[in-house]
Each structure stands twice: as C-alpha cells, then as structure tokens.
Amino acid sequence: MQDSDRQTRSHLMATFERHGFRPRTDLGQNFLIDLNIIDFVVRNGELTRDDVVLEIGAGTGGMTTSLAREAGHVVSVELDTNVFQLAQEAVSVYSNVTLLHQDALKNKNQFATEVMENLHKQLDDDPNRRMKLVANLPYSIATPVIANLVASELPWTRMVVTIQYELGLRMKAEPRDSHYGALSVWLQSQCFVKMIKKLGPTVFWPRPKVDSAIMRISPYHQKRALIADRPFFQDYLRRVFNMRRKLMRGVLCGMYRKELSKPEVDAVLQSMDLGPNARSEELSVETHVELGNRLFAAIAAKGADA
C-alpha cells in the first residue's frame, strides 16, 4: 500500500471498523482525506533536509509520511492511543521520524518537556537546521500551539497549519473587526500572517460542522525587535483584551494598580495622545506595541527608584 492510500476516507473507515474504534470528538479528530490538500500543505512548508518539522496531531500518519520524505527529521505528536498505533505502523520504515505518544502541551502556556527536548536534540544535530510547524492541528489546541511557538526562542522559520476558519480570521483581523483581539496583535506584531486556502467540511473525515483554513505564518524579525519585553507584552495583551470594550484608562489602572498610580497611567496614555475614550479593540498593532513598551518602561523605572 502506498502511504497516500492510508489517508483516503474509505481506507480510514475500514481501518477504524476493523479495529473496533471511532474517531474521538473530544480530541477534535478530523482527518484530512483530500490527498491534494495534504500535498498542498506539505508543499507550502517548502521543506528541505535542513528542516526539523514539528507535527502536532499525527493522526494515522498520513501526513507524517509525506513530511518524512521531504524533511531532515519529523517530531510528530499524537495523544490518542488508538491512532498512535496506526501512525507507528505508517512511519515504521522512516528512520527520520520521532513519534511521541503524549499531549503536546504541558499547560496552555508551555509545550511539553519531552516535545521540547526532542526538538532541541534534532536542531542541535546540525547548526544549519531550522524548525517548521506543519500540521493538521486539532481545533482545541491550535491557539496555544501557535501562540506558544511564537513566544518561544525556537529557531522556527515557518508554520503551515490547518485550523478552524474562524480562528484564521482572528489571526489576521484588523482593529474594529469583531475578530480582532489578543491573538491578532500577538501574531501580527511578530509575524507575517496569511490565509492561503479556505477548506469546506468535505475534505475531512469525520466532517466538522465548521469551515477550516490553511494558514501560513512566518517570522517578521524587524517587528519582533521593536517589542521591549515579550513576556510582559503577551501578558499585557491577554489582560487588556479580556476587557476589550471598556475604556483603556480604567482597564490599565486596574491591571497595574500595584505597579503604577492613576496619574502615572495617565502620563503614559497622554504621552501617546490616547484620549479618555480609547479602547483596546480600536488600537492598531503598532500602538499596542508602543503602549506595552511604555508601560513596561514606566514600571521598570519605578522599580529602579524604589
């Protein structure tokens, strides 16, 4: 059997029936069954033998084998025991695949230790190696996976991922758009973000109830360098967009009440000509970066004087 045949709807249905198990909706299992889409995702990864690929959601290994033929090494993660066994069989002839049976995340803000250790092991094997995320991501963990990779110091150069369409809209949303939020600003402040294909439910088995999208994300190093402190900025975005429709002054005074007085918050806002009616959902990515930097500097300066 060719590797690609393993990922057709008829083969997957027959395999699952033969083994007596079903796709798990609690894990967001929707397998790509359109071989042209699988090829499209892998092709947009632009893989070479210098690439270490992280795949989260190996499934039955249909995409994993395609990645292994192109990349230097593939670190693939699958949580479900049943499909993990199928993936093991699919990749057994490939010596450049590390298949991990576990959750990819330690918590919503961190990758699992074993995932990071295996990535570093492969990246350290050759100084020319780079990292890419190429995956049909489970809907339930797509946001933390992408956000955490951007937050990391891993030498990633590209992500090509299938995700829920609405999440794709959030990633590329602009101010005043209903989808605009912390994730929009976090990604756009450090990355080029592009939706390269919209997918209907029919290219998956089982069919999801929503549309999906293929996103291509690459680093924007010049923009990233403008952020004074990335952990502070990420925390600022999470908190400020929790109250996105409230006036910024009140939100910031509450957020930093232990670090800054109300007059000090006012001074930061006035230094940027942000009036009393400013709201986080209306501010541009660049304005959020500058505001985050000025708040960070004000808190640091006050700490130094203490």
Tell me the pLDDT of the chain (306 aa) as tens digits. Answer: 444 455 677 777 777 777 777 777 777 678 888 999 999 999 999 999 999 999 999 988 999 999 999 999 999 999 999 899 999 999 999 999 999 999 999 999 999 999 999 999 999 999 999 999 999 999 999 999 999 999 999 999 999 999 999 999 999 999 999 999 999 999 999 999 999 999 999 999 888 999 999 999 999 999 999 999 999 999 999 999 999 889 999 999 999 999 999 999 999 999 999 988 999 999 999 999 999 999 999 999 987 665
| pLDDT reported for residue 5 | 52
| pLDDT reported for residue 2 | 47
CA 249 to chain centre: 30
| pLDDT reported for residue 30 | 84
Instruction: Give just the sign of the alpha carbon dihedral 261, 263, 266, 267.
Output: negative
- Global pTM? 0.92
CA distances in angstroms from 160 to 105, 136, 156, listed in the order given: 19, 9, 12
| Nearest CA-CA partner of 287 in 277, 297, 278, 299 | 278
Residues 6+ away with beta carbon under 8 Å from 203: 32, 33, 34, 37, 212
CA separation for the pair 144, 140 (Å, rounded): 9
pLDDT above 70 coverage of the chain, percent: 96
Task: State the DSSP code for 247.
Answer: B
| pLDDT reported for residue 24 | 75
Q: For domain 230-305, which CATH number applies: 3.20.20.80, 1.10.490.10, 3.40.50.1820, 1.10.8.100?
A: 1.10.8.100
pLDDT digits (tens, 9 = 90+) for 212-261: 999 999 999 999 999 999 999 999 999 999 998 899 999 999 999 999 99
| pLDDT reported for residue 7 | 67
Return left, alpha or beta for 193; rule: phi > 0 is left, psi -120 to 50 is alpha, else beta.
beta
CATH number of 3-224: 3.40.50.150
| pLDDT reported for residue 3 | 47
Task: State the DSSP code for 75.
Answer: E
| pLDDT reported for residue 306 | 56
Q: Where are the domains of the chain?
A: 3-224, 230-305
Contact present, 128 and 157 (Cβ < 8 Å): no
